[in-house]
Amino acid sequence: MKQENLDTKPWWKYGHVWLIISGPAAVIIAGFITLAIAIGTPDPVVADDYYRRGLDINKTLAAEKDLQLAPALQTRNHVVTPKPEATKP
């Protein structure tokens, strides 16, 4: 029998092994970095009256929108309104 020349290097000396290990290792490291950021950065506190503040903001935005549309509304109403002399026979 002929004995074959077997490659008997240890597993850590093969490049493809490290390629396979690097994917999950990168995910684990990224998870710990994300955890550190989450623990180190506090979440902003929501105000107790957040709903009322939101309603006030909506009212302000609606008022600003009405002011922006005012000239267009006036012009439209002026065009639609008939002239008084045009209605007389």
User: What is residue 5's DSSP assignment?
Assistant: -
Confidence at residue 72, expressed as pLDDT on a 0 to 100 scale:
60
pTM: 0.45
75 backbone dihedrals φ, ψ, rounded to 5°: -65, -45
Instruction: Calculate mean pLDDT across residues 60-66.
Output: 78
Write down the H helix ranges in 5-83. Answer: 15-40, 50-80
Instruction: Calculate mean pLDDT across residues 22-31.
Output: 97
Token look-up 């008997």 returns 8
To the nearest 10°, report the CA torsion of 65, 77, 71, 60. Answer: -20
pLDDT tens-place string over residues 66-89? 666 556 655 666 656 666 665 555
Tell me the pLDDT band of 64, cut-offs 50, 70 and 90.
confident
Tell me, what amino acid is at 51?
Answer: Y
Confidence at residue 2, expressed as pLDDT on a 0 to 100 scale:
60
Question: For residue 33, what are its two tokens?
Answer: 């970095």
- For residues 27 and 35, what is the distance between their CA atoms, to the nearest angstrom? 12
